[in-house]
Amino acid sequence: MKYTGTTYRPPIEANTLLLQVTVGCSHNSCSFCTMYKDVPFKIEHIQQIEKDLQEAKMLYGSQKRIFLVNADAFVLSARRLKEISAKIIEYFPEMEVITMYASIKNIMGKSDQDLIELRNMRINDLWVGLESGSDQVIKHLNKGHTSNNAYEQLERLNKAGIRHNDIFMMGAGGKGKAIESAAATAALINKSGSNLAGVTSLGFFPGSQIAKEVQNGAFEPATELEILEEERKLIELIEVENMPFYGDHPINATRLVGILPQDKDRLIADIDAAIQTTDSSILNGVTERTTL
């Protein structure tokens, strides 16, 4: 199997077959991210993809779920994605889910008919990097979309029958913005009907634009207490039924996994316990996070 550079995938895809169809990130301009700075974006050759599928078939036999890497594989044209899906189904006819990372801009580049055809080719699940429902926050993170774009494109996925697992970042609004940011993000989740919410925390990685802003005083980070309070308020405000909530990224202040609303009280109690048992010097400070 060919993989170029560091390969990233959501934590809960740890046991999913990974197939490289792009290298790097087509956007590669988010102010917080340093993941693909050393890897120029390119599209993998279909011959290499088929070679990897042949190897995967020999190694693993049957597979029902596959994750296409790297950063935003959904940037590929609908024609290319259908070609890749056809190859996957040729080698794994039992395949049920073809998933990958996607940006709002990637979705905007597909027509309604494209989305329906991709759903019919078993591309029925996407991990969408939203980070926040706040326009101020997503503009500062340089995500390349607005909150209105997000509302519109997620609704298009809903209509096409494509699940969207939405990724959000606590602390991205900076100091003093926890409750405001949580409310905006919860509003997006509730209106779009997120199929899953994955929550991570903002880090300041050397070389990133936002790390430079912290150093020169242009951006004041949220404290660990504010990050926990933001996540607490987010959970409190989410109204989607039977939605998995994964706040289990390794860089998070505390590990939270549950189904909302069933586990709402437990998750909030876990956050309250973390606040009560954590030293005040840590709660009122900014923890160094060294990796995404």
pLDDT single digits (tens) 197-226: 999 999 999 999 999 999 999 999 999 999
Q: Give tens-digit pLDDT for 137-160.
A: 999 999 999 999 999 999 999 999
What domains lie within the chain, and their CATH numbers? Answer: 1-123 (3.30.750.210), 127-287 (3.30.750.200)
Contact of 66 with 94, CB cutoff 8 Å: no
pLDDT band at 286 (very low <50, low <70, confident <90, very high): confident
In single-letter form, the type of residue at position 1 comes to M
Q: Are strands 97-102 and 65-69 parallel, antiparallel or unpaired?
A: parallel
Whole-number average pLDDT of the chain: 95
pLDDT over threshold 70, residue 283: yes
pLDDT value for 32 = 94
Would you say residue 288 has pLDDT above 90? Answer: no
More confident residue, 282 or 120: 120
How confident is the model at residue 285, as a pLDDT? 86
Q: Which has more pLDDT, 132 or 252?
A: 132
> Alpha-carbon distance 130 to 103, whole Å?
7
Please indicate whether residue 185 or residue 250 has the higher confidence score (pLDDT).
185
pLDDT of residue 290: 63
pTM confidence score: 0.95
Q: 3-state secondary structure string, the chain?
A: CCCCCCCCCCHHHCCCEEEECEECCCCCCCCCCCCCCCCCCEECCHHHHHHHHHHHHHHHCCCCEEEEECCCHHHCCHHHHHHHHHHHHHHCCCCCEEEEEECHHHHHCCCHHHHHHHHHCCCCEEEEEEECCCHHHHHHCCCCCCHHHHHHHHHHHHHHCCEEEEEEEECCCCCCCHHHHHHHHHHHHHHHCCCEEEEEECCCCCCCHHHHHHHCCCCCCCCHHHHHHHHHHHHHHCCCCCEEEEECCCCCCCCEEEEECCCHHHHHHHHHHHHHHCCHHHHCCCCCCCCC
Q: pLDDT over 70 for what percent of the chain?
A: 99
pLDDT tens track for 64-76? 999 999 999 999 9
Position 291 pLDDT exceeds 80: no
Q: Is the pLDDT of residue 292 over 70?
A: no
Whole-number pLDDT of residue 250: 74
Q: Stretch 174-184: mean pLDDT, rounded?
A: 97
Quick one: average pLDDT of 154-167?
98
